[in-house]
A and B are shown apart, each in its own frame.
Chain A
C-alpha cells in the first residue's frame, strides 16, 4: 500500500480510537514478558502475614498502632518533614467501630473496617493535592454535562424550526420504512407464487 493512502486513512477520526486500542493492546501484551520486580521496601509497610492474627488483634491484618493525637501509628511518607503530624489519626475509630471491634475478632477484615485513618492520611494529608485534582476532574465533567443538558437537551422552546425538521424527518423515515416493507412483502409473495406454480 502506498504511504499516502495510509496517511489518508489515518486522517479519518473514526479510525483513530481503533488504532489506539491496537497500540495499547500490543503494549499490554508485551507487558507479559517484562520481568516484574516489586520494590520490597515500599512506602506503606505492613507486618508479616498472620502475626497480628496470632496475637488475637481484632484489627488484624491492618493494625498500625499509635494512639489518637498523642502517639503516631506506623505510616510512612516520602518526605516526613513536610507532614509533621503524620500518623496521629491512624488509630481513630468511630464509636460503631469500637463496639464492633469489642464483639468480634475479625473486625479488621470486615467491610466496615477502617481502623486508622491510613487511607485518609494518604488521601488528605500526604497526597492531598491529588484529591483536589481528582474531585476537580469530576466537577468539570459535571459542569460540561449539566451545561449541555440545560442548554441543548432540556431547552427545546426556542428551536421550533428544529422540532419541525425533526418531525418532517421522522415522517419521511417512517414512509421510507413503510415502502421498504411493502417492497419486501411483494418480493416474498412473488417468491411464494413461483414456488406454488
Chain B
C-alpha cells in the first residue's frame, strides 16, 4: 500500500543518508502526541500510593526515593523520545532498533523497584526481550535479502514475495513479544504494579503506539 493512502499527504522528508524519515499527517500526529507526553512526564512528580496496613486501621504511604525517581524520569524521557522516533522513521531496520531500544528502557524503568513480584516479571520480560532480538533483526535481514532494500518507501512500491511475508511475520512476532500484546501480556502487565505512576505509564504508552506503527508498516509492505 502507498504512504499517501495510509498516512495522508506527504509533508516532506528528513534525509539521513539511506535512512529517510517520512512526514505524513498520521506519523506526525503520533510523533507529536508522544513528544507531548514525554514533556509532561519530564515535568511531573511521581504519585504516592497509600496502602492499608494489615491488622490495623492506619494507612502507609509508599514513596519513590529521590534517587530512584531521577533515574526513572531520565529513562522514561529517553523511552518517550525513542518511541517518538519509531513513529516517523522510514526504514525497517531503524524501526526494529527503536523497538529494541524501547524494550531495554522498559526493563530499566522498573529495574530499581524493590518488590520481588515486579522484579520477577521484569526478569521474565527481559527473557522475552532477549529472545525478540532474533525475530526482530532476523526478520529485517530476511526482508533485505529478498528485496535488496530496507527503505519503507521502496518496499511499499513492491509486491511482497513469500520470503518477504515470512520476514515481516517474524518481525511482527518480535514486536508482539517486545511490546507485550496478548498472549504475551502477563509479564509486561505485572511489571508496572508499583508506585511511581507517570513514569510507568510510558511503558504502556510506548508499546501501544509502536503497535499502531507496526500495523502501518505491515500494511505498507504486505498490501
Contact = CB atoms under 8 A, between A and B. Distances in A.
Interface string A99-125: 000000000000000000000000001
Chain B, interface size category, equals: 35 or more
A133 B131 contact: no
A130 B97 contact: yes
A17 to B, nearest CB: 4
Contacts of A144: 75, 104, 107-108, 111
A19 B145 contact: no
Given A43-B149, A141-B104, A134 B97 contact: yes
Interface in B102-145: 104-105, 107-108, 111-112, 120-121, 124-125, 127-128, 131, 134-135, 145
Nearest to A39: B148
Main secondary structure of the interface of A (DSSP, over half): helix
Contact of A13 (B108, B124, B151, B183): B124
Contacts of A20: 128, 131, 177, 184
A21 to B, nearest CB: 6
Given A27-B173, A38-B146, A43-B148, A137 B16 contact: no
Contacts of B112: 147-148, 151-152
B124 A24 contact: no
B208 interface: no
B111 A37 contact: no
A42 interface: yes
B75 A126 contact: no
A11 B180 CA distance: 12
Interface of A: 10-17, 19-21, 23-24, 27-28, 30-31, 34-39, 41-43, 77-79, 82-83, 125-130, 133-134, 136-137, 140-141, 143-144, 147-148, 151-152
Given A13-B186, A19-B184, A127-B18, 14 more contacts: A14-B124, A15-B186, A16-B125, A27-B173, A30-B166, A34-B166, A38-B145, A39-B145, A43-B148, A78-B154, A82-B16, A127-B93, A129-B16, A140-B75
